[in-house]
């Protein structure tokens, strides 16, 4: 007498439709294009800006009566050199032209607003509020620009922006005698930290 098999039956998996494969392939291609065209701020640009920030903090401690002129000059030099490094990376790379434009559109309006409000506060004799304002609005600009950056550095830039924001909020509550230390910690220390971590994960050029 033949023994009946008690082994469980395994039904074959349903066939994958051509439409599903096509949609999956298109999604992969789209993700690859977006990743290849994402904006990456070179770690060296942030390191250069951080070193300028530390130098400005030291100079402001040595000449406290000229702290405002020192930081304005440092800001112009830092953004000029940092911008030159970023632009050099994007030069000749068509995929980076669009992300660079979006990056600037996220960054520049907030920085322009910071400059305008800084002038108004200076005219009103409230320049002691400027360090906190700069750190606060710069953090907002960095966090906004992180949305058009590559995934890994984008998350890191967003965290850096949040740290700038928190440092700015704390600076507004501190005595003005702390401004050089707070500005140095932000525009010097946080820039250096981002630059070094960015180079470590392979975005150092």
Please answer whether residues 44 and 55 qualify as being in contact, where contact means their C-beta atoms are separated by less than 8 angstroms. no
- Residue ranges of domains in the chain: 39-200
Quote the pTM value. Answer: 0.76
The string of pLDDT tens digits covering residues 7-36 is: 555 555 555 555 555 555 555 445 444 444
What distance in Å separates the CA atoms of residue 55 and residue 188, rounded to the nearest whole number? 8
The string of pLDDT tens digits covering residues 135-191 is: 999 999 999 888 888 777 888 889 999 999 999 999 999 998 899 999 999 999 999
């Amino acid at each position: 007498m033949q023994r009946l098999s008690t082994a469980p039956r395994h039904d074959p998996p349903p066939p994958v439709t051509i439409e599903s494969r096509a949609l999956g392939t298109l999604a992969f291609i789209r993700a690859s294009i977006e990743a290849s065209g994402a904006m990456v701020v070179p770690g060296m640009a942030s390191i250069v800006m951080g070193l300028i920030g530390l130098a400005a903090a030291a100079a402001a401690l040595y000449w406290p009566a000229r702290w405002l002129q020192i930081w304005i000059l440092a800001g112009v030099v830092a953004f000029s050199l940092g911008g030159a490094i970023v632009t050099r990376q994007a030069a000749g790379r068509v995929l980076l032209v669009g992300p660079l434009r979006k990056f600037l559109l996220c960054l520049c309006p907030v920085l322009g607003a910071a400059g305008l409000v800084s002038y108004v506060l200076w005219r009103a004799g409230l320049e002691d509020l400027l360090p906190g304002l700069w750190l606060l609005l710069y953090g907002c600009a960095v966090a906004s620009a992180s949305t058009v950056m590559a995934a890994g550095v984008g998350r890191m830039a967003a965290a850096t922006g949040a740290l700038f924001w928190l440092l700015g909020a704390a600076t507004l509550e501190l005595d003005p005698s702390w401004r050089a230390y707070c500005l140095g910690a932000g525009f010097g220390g946080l820039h250096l930290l981002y630059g070094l971590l960015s180079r470590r994960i392979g975005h150092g050029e």
